[in-house]
Structure 1
Amino acid sequence: MTLPTRTGIAVALLSTASVSLATQAQPMLEEVIVSAQKRDQSAQDVPIALSAFTADAIEQIGSPDFEGLQFFTPGLSVSGASGAFVSPYIRGIGTNQTSVGTDPSIGVYQDGIYLARKSGALSDLLDVQRVEILKGPQGTLFGRNAVGGAISITTARPVDAVEAEVGLGLGNYGAQMARGMLNAPITDNVYVRATLQTRQRDGWQENVINGIDGDNRDRTTGRVKLLWDASETVAVEVGGQWNETDEIARFGESIDAGLPVSELTRDRSDRKAVNGNINVLGDPAGSAEPTLPLFDRSMELYWLSATWDLTPSLTLTSLSSYLEYETSAARDYDGTEFYIGNNLYNTAMNKTLSQEFRLSGTHETLDWFIGASYLQESYDMDFAIGFADFLGLNGGLPFEEDSAVASDTDSYAVYGDATWRFTERWSLTFGARYSYDDKTIGYNTPLHDNGAAGLNGLGLVLASSAQFVNAQGVPDPAAAERSESWSDFSPRVVVDYRVNDDVMLYAGVTRGYKSGGFNTYPTADQTPGPTFLQVVPEATRPVDPETTLNYEAGIKSQFLNDRLLLNASVYAVDYEDLQVQVIENQVVALANAGEASSNGLEFEMKFRLSQYLTLFANGAWMDTEYDRFFRSGVDYSGTPLRFSPDFSGTLGADGAVQFADGSELRGFISIGYKDEHNLDENFAIDSYTVVNARLTYRSASDAWQVALFGTNLGDEDFLVDYTEQTSAFGFTSAIRNEPRMYGAELTYRF
């Protein structure tokens, strides 16, 4: 691995700025408080591999959404076509499926509320107190489907003080941001906190066919929290959050076309995508004029939480929530200017109701909690997969496969966790979760055939409506309904040893569980006939639950009077029935990959050299592979898992100079690197390096600050998502990362 020499230059400059202060008092690193084990603890006291970010750290990183945190979390990668629609992968485990019938592998929680779908999960990081990213199975501590890890977002709570803040920002590509926050007491025991933010930006990716720019920003997020301290022992919080997103996501670009397409410009200075088919189905084939944005979301989240201290050592917690969101999305999967096939348009409605009760207590050498939870989710989606004439060989007569899918899920769980400090230095933690999931799915797929006939101009035979048949020869349209249930017992055992007040060693074994699911796209016939394409309405075909067994050991340590932090962990994970998205005979499908494994080493370092300079570094080595995986007749055993680079790491510096009047100039720089890695079993990308920086001037009174920032300053060009279509059409398409972004922000506090 080779990193740019600019690293040493940046560190040297910051070191020079603070060398005259080296003889001053050496302060400690800031302690980060987390709630990973359902109680407030120092992150250094938690025997779990995790990365935690305070509000200040998130501001310095300079990412308005979750995507930017991947370079500061060892083992984390992020895939996706938009900052509002991303898929996290931890240690090579994640899911890129957006269908009704399956669940994510990484659990996302906001203030303890499970956000079941990525479409409604990772929005802008607005007024956040901290973000915790926990690695390895976390079902016992957090909940369902956290088989690969958990992301816990804690937003700021109302306080008994009058606070207000206004932020304004401008950037390249016409970026504009406006943000406001107000916190105030209403009475002597009722407090409110309200936050509103809007972000707009032009797209940076030009479509050479129709001139529409991709990957713009147009989103507004608001949140209101009301806290009532009903008594000395009872506190009640009620809140709501709203999000409106109306954006065009990044276009897919053809990277390996077997058909004649216009040349794709690779140069970042003139990035143009050949993608003429972002029109939604129903428009004339080849018009290339979208009538709806590619990603449109309306989200509402409401919650009621209450804590009651029954005794000084016993607390009862209740958390009720309701989440509702609607999305509309369209994507052309071929990435060419031709209206070929698998052009997907969908609308979805999701409603999730959840309730959790938890009783927690402490008693001398024992900290424990027990709980029960219920989740009810209804998820309806209408989508269309379009197939149409290209090159004028069929007279411009398209047809499409329309589908309506409805899913209902009822999930129940009981769980508990206890830590016993059986000596002054030794502790034993045991936890377990019993999960029961019941799912029902209904599927209807009427075919809209506009008269498409066979065409042979390219040696292909396009199926007519009569040729859309299932394995028994029954033609579409088809309807199906099916119910399945799954249950699992997932324990964890961890032992930790305190070498002294500053060093902790830990080791443990944890079982992870992700519920089974269903295919919800038309499924390719496993033994297709002589036609060019056969689609089988086996949308109710189930997939088995995904399970993991995670072995882990680590060290958490601080030295030099808490100025140097060194954390490291090693792990070995065995996966059974890993759920992966595959392309089978030109159709997206969900399948179990058999067996897989992931082994690795991760570390984090922070060193506060002086009061005004902190250095940091992190890294992850991963060795992943499918131990047993057959797909479309090909043996992929031995192939690395997706989004699992052999090495990834970041180093950087956070330095400041304080002036005589008390004002401060602060500089932050980070350099993140990822080795080459697979986006798919058949496709790998080269290594890349991303440089981010921020320069902030803060007034002496701390009433205002102005900041200049830049992300991907080297304008590195790489791919973040990939779709294979080679089985029938002979091409693949991929999605690129964001180019260099920069801007300025002004913040004023009242």
Structure 2
Amino acid sequence: MSRLTHRAGRAGPALHPLALALLLASACAAADDDGAGQDSRAPDAVSGDALQTVTVTARRREENAQDVPTPITTLSGETLDKQRIYRLQDLQQALPSVNVAYIHARQSSLAVRGIGNNPASDGLEGSAGIYLDNVYLGRPGMAIFDLLDVEQLDLLRGPQGTLFGKNTTAGVLNITTRKPTFTPESSVEASGGENGYFQGKGSFSGPLTDTLAGRLSVYRTRDDGFLNNLADNRTLLGGEREGLRGQLLFKPDDDFSLRWINEYNSENSTQGSGVIYGAPALFWKRASLVGANPLLGHANIDGRQNVSVHQNASSLEANWNLAGGFTLTSISAYRYWHFNPANDSDQLNVPVIRDLGYEVHDRQFSQEIRLASPSGGAFDYVLGAYAFKQDLGNRYFTDLGPLADLDLIGANLNALNNVSSTSYGKIDTQSYALFAQGTWHLTDRLDFTAGLRGTYEEKDAKVQRYAPEGGAAVRGLAAAVRASQAGAYDSGDLHLHNAAPSALLSLSYRFDDNLLGYASLSHGEKSGGVNLTVGSAPSAGADSLLVGPERANDAELGIKSTLFDRRLLLNANLFWTGINGYQATTYYQPPGSLTGFQVLANAGKLRSRGLEFEATALPFRGLTLNFNGSYNDVTYLSFKDAPCPAEISTQPGAPATCDLSGKRVMGASKWIANLNGEYQWQLEDRLQPYVTASYAYRSEAEGTLDDSALSKIPGYGLANFSVGVRRDLGDGQLDASLWLKNAFDKDYYLAVTTASNGLYVGSPGQPRMAGVTLRYDF
């Protein structure tokens, strides 16, 4: 039986003005106008009867992707538009070995090869790094906005610590946006669809003077949502997002230029809503005790559900072409991110938990300097330095209702009824690194690459919970329960420091002009972190809030080929990754406590191994086919003190921990396959009709870390179709299309989380939606 059975649809949103303003001023420094991705195309772009070259900057210099000895999948902005991929969570329908666990902007994570499923960890960076225009994003939620005016998106798999700013043990998602141009170009687009969906986008670029160009990109997206709430017939999982990016490109000559980017994004939505996905007998018993009537596969809440997110950012990238062919690059950046939720987290239509959540403020500063040697000699290299500072603070709040005791404890002691509690956490991170990577061209066909990075990080943190407010005066057992769950606590000053190396050794051999083979060994290390919530500290001590580093060793063996006069691209690779101290969100229940907490901890050792494959083909003129897929076997080799699944932990006399050694890692589908194609042809009167189709499949996955049978996510496949026509009109081209997403209306889930009394809450994906898009490029 389908878990998700109630949806709601409405029509007709109106576009509201974008209430944003951005001030741009010129400055004097330098950047290379031919930077990353400026003239690149994704593998599906064609020129006549041959595939075009894809340019990437995976090694911090422009190269043909087929010449880079590492697994890379590239999507152009054109591909994202054709497949209507405009949010981070949509990327798992187009990329191999990728899982995006999405609940809302704070509880989101990007995992590569099954590594990195760490949502909602404010005191720790992700295992997979996300970069926007060469700037590392300290929180995954910084990328949970519409992908606006993207030039190219590159997925690099495996540890990438030797050249990218922050150590990453799983991989890197590198997003490059379109630059200002000295030739005028503009694009406007409007889309409308079911459930009140509307999206408007615009991009305008051109010269301001002979040496200064500007670009302005804006969007606004809204929808009514699709999840019906039984308690009051609200429609959830809808809302509004809007954003703006303004850029200046100063280029006085061919050797000297600077790109200044300013960005703003906001969201006001009911994201974070979910359905009852699975629950043990205890949950249903307690729900009956408080007079609630929850239903599997439905939302039925009585409280407020809202998420408010605001973000702004500014970055400067300067490049100098120096004497002798050297290139010097400087990237300075600042980002601010604010997340503020309101959550009815008990999933019940009675007042048990009125509100619960984490408000987060995050500021980050980064500076990177790189020097790239000229290419074409016997040896080329890149070396540099990186500094990163992050100041993050959160506020954890709980506001319990009059039925809290009956639901959370099972008896009315007046211990938690109508009690409110607030705690604050803060962490200051400082990270510094020196790095270098060089390639020796031993022969015309054989290359040897070595890279090394040394990173030093310090983290200072503190967690403090104030005395509870409200509730009846209590003593004895009730007072003890209240103190254990909401009593005042101060962790004192917490400190972590870590010095970590990252390294790469790689051999590549070009068998001929169209076939490259490679093998590599790499090591990556990610520093530890701090749980920014009281959680286990009162019973287990403040040191239980600390999380140790995560270390990865990786081996790759692969080929890259271009065949049949550049009509077929075929790449494949085998990989093996071992992780020690894997950082994952677990569940901790203090001895004698009636409720538990989600905490971040080192989950032990795991192994990820498998095969990845991608191909692009031009069978005949007008038809382009893309296919990528992966087989990932991701298993805990040792995880003896893991949380127990709810069907065990809620039983009388249940063990405190369970052994998950040999079990699959959460969120990691063994099989992933993505297929898409486009056929276009030419008619008279400058008409160019086209049809597109895509199908994305993922096999079943563990929904939560505890390996519960109640939280498993079944495998699913999603099909998308579109049909349209392009026509030259005036000085531009008009594109009109009809599209259908999730054409067969498949129920699927983006994540599953744990809640009180063993409840598992599912975050459902978008149901079938039809719509129309009009676009004009001029």
| 1:306 aligned residue | 318
- 2:581 is matched with 577
1:405–1:443 CA contact under 8 A, matched in 2: yes
**Residues 45-95 of structure 1 deviation map (CA, whole Å, 9 limit, x = unaligned):** 111111101111111111221222212211111111247963211100113
What are the ranges of 5 or more consecutive residues in structure 1 without an aligned counterpart?
Answer: 1-24, 267-271, 277-287, 470-474, 526-533
User: What SS does the aligned partner of 2:50 have?
Assistant: coil
Give the counterpart of 1:718 among 736, 748, 751: 748
- Match in the other structure for 1:733: 761
Q: Which moved more, 1:244-253 or 1:516-525?
A: 516-525
Deviation at 1:390, TM superposition (A): 2.2
Q: Distance in 1 between matches of 2:231 and 2:636?
A: 40
In structure 2, what is the equivalent of residue 466 of structure 1?
483
Question: How far apart, CA to CA, are the structure 1 residues paired with 2:473 and 2:352?
Answer: 14
**Paired residue for 2:629?**
619
* Structure 1 residue aligned with 2:15: none
Offset of residue 383 of structure 1: 1.3
Partners of 1:88 and 1:94 within 8 A in 2: yes
Whole-angstrom CA distance in 1 between matches of 2:329 and 2:610: 37
Structure 2 match to 1:372 = 385
CA deviation string 1:624-665 (max 9, x = no partner): 111111214200101111221121112232111211223211
- Does the 8 A contact of 1:61 with 1:68 survive in 2? no
Q: TM-score, normalised by structure 1?
A: 0.88
2:168 alignment counterpart: 146
Task: Say if 1:313 and 1:714 are closer, same or farther in 2 by CA, change over 3 A.
Answer: same
Amino acid at match of 2:685: D
Structure 1 residue 119, shift from structure 2 partner: 2.1
Other-structure match for 1:404 = 424
Is the 2:294–2:347 Cα contact (8 Å) retained in structure 1? no
Q: Deviations over 1:175-223 (max 9, x none)?
A: 1111111111011111001111111111111211233322113011100
Equivalent position SS for 2:468: strand
The correspondence of residues 413-492 of structure 1 with structure 2, limited to 5 A, is 413-451=433-471, 464-468=481-485, 476-492=488-504
Check 1:115–1:588 CA distance in 2 against 1; reply closer, same or farther (3 A cut).
Answer: same
Secondary structure in 2 aligned to 1:609?
coil
Which residue number in structure 2 is paired with residue 500 of structure 1? 512
Q: Which moved more, 1:631-640 or 1:82-91?
A: 82-91
Amino acid at match of 2:203: M
Task: Please state if 1:631 is matched with 2:657.
Answer: no
Give the one of 45, 49, 69 matched to 2:91.
Answer: 69
TM-score by length of 2: 0.85
1:134 aligned to 2:138?
no
Shift of 1:507: 0.6
| Secondary structure in structure 2 of the residue aligned to 1:745 | strand
Question: In structure 2, which of residues 347, 352, 363 is the aligned counterpart of residue 351 of structure 1?
Answer: 363
- Match for 2:627: what amino acid? A
d(CA) in 2 for partners of 1:83, 1:550: 30
Structure-2 separation of matches of 1:215 and 1:33: 38
Counterpart position of 1:595: 605
Q: Which residue among 369, 374, 385 is the counterpart of 1:362? A: 374
Query: 1:623 deviation in Å?
Result: 1.0
Give, in angstroms, the shift of residue 341 of structure 1: 5.4
**What corresponds to 1:5 in structure 2?**
none
Deviation at 1:539, TM superposition (A): 7.6
The one of 687, 691, 700 aligned to 1:663: 687
Deviations 1:153-179 (A, max 9, x none): 000011111112211111111111111
TM superposition shift of 1:323: 0.6
Partner in structure 1 of residue 192 of structure 2:
170
Question: Structure 1 residue 180 and structure 2 residue 202: aligned?
Answer: yes
1:598 & 1:360 partners in 2: Cα distance? 33
**CA shift for structure 1 position 608:** 0.5
Task: Point out the structure with the larger strand share.
Answer: 1
What is the Cα-based RMSD across aligned positions, in Å? 2.4
Letter in 2 for 1:709: W
Rounded to whole Å, the distance in 1 between the matches of 2:335 and 2:775 is 31
The amino acid that maps onto 1:235 is: S
**Residue 718 of structure 2, aligned match among 665, 684, 690:** 690
Asked if the contact 1:367/1:420 (under 8 Å) is kept, the reply is: yes
Could you tell me whether the CA contact under 8 Å between 1:190 and 1:229 is conserved in 2? yes
Question: Matched residues in 1 for 2:171 and 2:524: separation?
Answer: 9
What is the identity, as a one-letter code, of the residue corresponding to 1:244? S
**Distance of 1:295 and 1:206 partners within structure 2:** 17
The aligned amino acid for 2:308 is D
Matches of 1:492 and 1:60 in 2, distance apart? 36
SS at match of 2:141: helix
Give 1:285-304 correspondences, 5 Å limit.
288=303, 290=304, 294-304=306-316
- Contact 1:564–1:606 at 8 Å: present in 2 too? yes
Indicate the residue corresponding to 1:747 in structure 2.
775
Which amino acid is the alignment partner of residue 300 of structure 2? Answer: V
Q: For each residue in 1:534-558, what CA deviation from the matched residue of structure 2 results, as whole angstroms up to 9, or x when unmatched?
A: 8767387211100100111111111
Instruction: Give the superposition deviation at 1:482.
Output: 1.0
1:100–1:480: structure 2 CA closer, same or farther, 3 Å change rule?
Answer: farther
**Secondary structure of the residue that 2:111 maps to in structure 1?**
strand
Number of aligned residue pairs: 689
Q: Indicate the residue corresponding to 1:19 in structure 2.
A: none
Aligned to 1:650: 674
Q: What secondary structure sits across from 1:59 in the alignment?
A: helix
Matched residue, 1:608: 618
State the distance in 1 between where 2:268 and 2:465 align. Answer: 28
- The answer to whether the Cα contact below 8 Å between 2:364 and 2:390 also exists between their aligned partners in 1 is yes
- Note if contact 1:182-1:194 (Cα within 8 Å) is conserved in structure 2: yes
1:444 aligned partner, one-letter code: Q
Q: 1:244 to 1:196 in 2, by over 3 A?
A: same
Q: Which amino acid aligns with 2:65?
A: A
Q: Quick check: 1:480–1:540 contact (8 Å CA) kept in 2?
A: no
Match of 1:220 in 2: 242
CA distance in 2, matches of 1:418, 1:112: 20
Q: 2:246, 2:668 → 1: CA distance? A: 38
SS of the residue 1:602 aligns to: strand
Note closer, same or farther for the CA distance 1:312–1:299 as it changes in structure 2 (3 Å cut): same
Residues 536/489 of structure 1: CA separation in 2 closer, same or farther (3 Å cut): closer
Contact residue 394 and residue 455 of structure 1 kept, 8 A: no
Q: Is 1:42 the counterpart of 2:75 in the alignment?
A: no
Contact 1:454/1:464, CA 8 A, preserved across alignment: no
CA contact (8 A) 2:110 2:126 kept: no
Equivalence for 1:3 = none
Which stretch shifts more, 109-118 or 396-405? 396-405
Q: Give the residue type in structure 1 aligned to 2:636.
A: Y
Deviations 1:649-704 (A, max 9, x none): 12232111211223211111111111111121223221111111222211035521
2:340 is aligned to 328
The equivalent of 1:6 in structure 2 is none
Tell me the equivalent position of 1:79. 101
Kept in 2, the 8 Å contact 1:252–1:334? The answer is: no
Pairwise CA distance, 1:146: 1.6
Structure 2 unaligned runs (5+)?
A: 1-46, 407-411, 590-595, 644-656
Paired residue type of 1:433: R
Q: Which residue pairs with 2:697 in the alignment?
A: 673
Q: In 1, distance between residues paired with 2:358 and 2:754?
A: 20
CA contact (8 A) 1:522 1:535 kept: no
